[in-house]
Structure 1
Amino acid sequence: MSEVPPHVTALAERWVRARTGDDLAGAETLRGEIEAEGWLVRALGEGFDLVPRPSFEVWPTVSAVPVPEKPINPENAEGSVKAGRVTGTVPLEEGTSEAERVREAAAPGARPERLGDLEAERVAGTEAAPAQEPEGVELTGRAGKNRGPGNASGAGGRDRTGEDRGDPERMIESQLLWDASLSVSRLDEEVTPVEPEEPVAPPSVTVALVVDGWPEDLLECVRAVVARTEARIIALDLGNVDGAGEVLEELVKEYPHRVEAWHVAEIAHWRGGTAGWGESRTKLLKLDGADVHVVMETSTILDGDAITPLIKVLEDDVVAAGWKGVDPGEDGHDWHEAGPGEVKGVLGHLFAVRRDAALAAGGFSRDARYYRNADLEFSLLLPGTVVALDRDLPVHQERHRGYHDVDPAYRDRESRRTYDRVLGLLRST
């Protein structure tokens, strides 16, 4: 790493004093001067850190990342969430339990069907049925030449019944029958056929990642999502720690139609920076334009398509579906694994949420500076049912660095802060 020039260090010291004194305009001016020198400055506790400015665009803070008025998902700009539910899922039959539904969704090869076997056979039989002619009348086609009583070839002779065509009474009966059949035929022609319904587009899906280091984990996580699903990926890089932001930018170039990234100079709060987990997650939620927003950690690796089963259960009042679910004990202090079926909370390793419901809940708590228990807080705030598919999904987790590689004292302190709010939510429900 290049040595920081003394005059850049002096600018950074002035930047810290400006921030501390709430001189935001002055701090922004100094930041621009530092960047013009080829460096990025970021807050680190009560001090600062200087790193070389990368070639890609970097926003100063998470809050500074602009959100478009109407985020667009390239895969499905129209969206498909209507009437308060995600369309394109399998309807729940009466009497089916929540647990049975999520097991069915997680079953290998499970897919929604447009028609049942019985309906498909009935449609095929109807389409294959030949048109019937009226008895006693010979037709060459509805729009073609016919052989009605008024244009029989030759005079006299006998019809198919063997009766003499010259009989006036028989001719009148035949004429009446022919007129009736012709009327029915014309009615058939004038009836406008029912247009088949347009197939319902599946919900658009985005996987959202917060990147706060560990570039190897990021690489494996993104490539597994790209290889095993059709979901779009958006990622927010906090501070390019250990070059993770640079790896993310390479992934954007490798998969330009699947991966989109934003970079900020702030580093994660747990690393001593100022970027909180809840704030970062809410920013990704607002940047997303998909029907379904998937929260995922970079330590979570897909072994197959674990996204589709989560999406399939987002119907009726189900607003979120996760890989791992938990329920509180009677005293609310001890939580235990739960599912499949309805649960109180889903864990942030991997869960899908209807984006409209997540926004209705206000997003993720800005007070959640660290991830732990913030996923429970978010689950309890959602306006609807939360379910878990338990361990049937094709997914596994590598070392959970967000827990194991964080200072234990910090982890316990921030977990307790968030859990105090969780207890308040439990008491209110």
Structure 2
Amino acid sequence: MPRAVTLLTVVHGWLPDVERWLLSVFTHCKSDFEALLVDNSGDARMAGWLQTRAAERLRLVTLDPPLGFSTAVNAGIQAAAGEVIVLFDPGVELTGDATSPLLEALEDPTVVVAGPFGLRGKGTLKEFEEDAGPDVDAIEGYCMAFRRSDASAVDGFDPKFKFYRIADIEFSFRLRDRGGRAVAIAGLPLRKHEHRLWEATAPDERDRLSRRNLYRFLDRWGKREDLLTGPRTEPQ
């Protein structure tokens, strides 16, 4: 059944996080939504629990064996029934209706991606920092909203990004390369809890995988300074 919005998350494990995310979504989302879980855990117990939760507004995609982060997200994008997709990290908890402002932002045809956590290049494509926007260079994958049709037009996330770091920046640039804007929305009612993939990866391995993804990003976008929004202008 078509829906206005698909709330999508990729499950790598950590059942309490999934329960908390689901409860917050069903408690606070006011839109015509579905929740779509991509089970990338490779855990039979997780798969069994998720299958018992399937309902009209809760659907499940199981990847067996587990795949890389971007490929898992793309499986969710392909399965989504919503015109708009909001991708969440399962460590995020909604504390109010965070979905409606994201849908409103995407009613502007110039906006291709929106979310609460914006990033801006520090005068370079090699380093990004948090920025309140509203216009930013990229949206962090903790919570990012985009049209399903736009994601399909750019073939989704780059499957070479098997580790999650920088995959959200690269996807933001794919969307913006077609002429659209990335917009950060302040004050959305949500809370970030522990980021499990970050915490579960050894620091040396984390650094190695992050560097590899940065090189992948620069290989594609390293000469596209035109996609940087430039220094932020403070209000007079």
TM-score for the superposition, normalised by structure 1? 0.49
Q: For 1:350 and 1:331, locate their aligned partners in 2 and report how far apart those are by CA, in whole Å.
A: 24
Q: For 2:64 and 2:111, locate their aligned partners in 1 and report how far apart those are by CA, in whole Å.
A: 37
Secondary structure (helix, strand or coil) at the match of 2:82 reads coil
CA offset digits 1:7-58 (Å, max 9, x no partner): xxxxxxxxxxxxxxxxxxxxxxxxxxxxxxxxxxxxxxxxxxxxxxxxxxxx
- 1:39-118 equivalence runs, <5 A: 74-76=1-3
1:233 is displaced (CA, Å) by 0.8
1:316 is displaced (CA, Å) by 2.1
Q: What CA RMSD, in Å, does the superposition of the two structures yield over aligned residues? A: 1.6
- 1:237-386 equivalence runs, <5 A: 237-241=39-43, 243-252=45-54, 256-267=55-66, 275-314=67-106, 315-382=108-175, 383=178, 384-386=180-182
The structure-2 alpha-carbon separation of the partners of 1:329 and 1:279, relative to structure 1 and needing over 3 Å to count, comes to same
**Structure 1 residue runs of 4+, over 4 Å off?**
none
1:400 aligns with 2:195: yes
Secondary structure (helix, strand or coil) at the match of 2:77 reads helix
Gap regions ≥5 residues in structure 1: 1-73, 77-203, 268-274
Q: For 1:378 and 1:280, locate their aligned partners in 2 and report how far apart those are by CA, in whole Å.
A: 14
1:251 is displaced (CA, Å) by 2.0
1:240 is displaced (CA, Å) by 4.2
1:339 is displaced (CA, Å) by 2.2
Secondary structure (helix, strand or coil) at the match of 1:316 reads coil
Q: Give the match for residue 141 of structure 1.
A: none
Gap regions ≥5 residues in structure 2: 227-236
TM-score for the superposition, normalised by structure 2? 0.87
What amino acid maps onto 1:259 in structure 2?
A: L
1:330 is displaced (CA, Å) by 1.6
CA offset digits 1:46-86 (Å, max 9, x no partner): xxxxxxxxxxxxxxxxxxxxxxxxxxxx244xxxxxxxxxx
Structure 1, 210-219 or 231-240: larger mean CA deviation: 231-240
1:239 is displaced (CA, Å) by 3.8
Q: Give the match for residue 420 of structure 1.
A: 215
What amino acid maps onto 1:400 in structure 2?
A: H
Q: For 1:223 and 1:262, locate their aligned partners in 2 and report how far apart those are by CA, in whole Å.
A: 19
Q: Give the match for residue 229 of structure 2.
A: none
- 1:138-177 equivalence runs, <5 A: none
Q: Which has the higher strand share?
A: 2
What amino acid maps onto 1:397 in structure 2?
A: K
Q: Percent identity?
A: 28
Q: For 1:301 and 1:385, locate their aligned partners in 2 and report how far apart those are by CA, in whole Å.
A: 26
Q: For 2:19 and 2:44, locate their aligned partners in 1 and report how far apart those are by CA, in whole Å.
A: 13
Q: For 1:308 and 1:341, locate their aligned partners in 2 and report how far apart those are by CA, in whole Å.
A: 17
1:227 aligns with 2:27: yes
Asked if structure 2 preserves the Cα contact closer than 8 Å seen for 1:339 and 1:387, the reply is no
Larger relative contact order (Cα-Cα within 8 Å, sequence gap ≥ 6): 2
The structure-2 alpha-carbon separation of the partners of 1:386 and 1:262, relative to structure 1 and needing over 3 Å to count, comes to same
Secondary structure (helix, strand or coil) at the match of 1:369 reads coil
What amino acid maps onto 1:370 in structure 2?
A: F
Asked if structure 2 preserves the Cα contact closer than 8 Å seen for 1:240 and 1:246, the reply is no
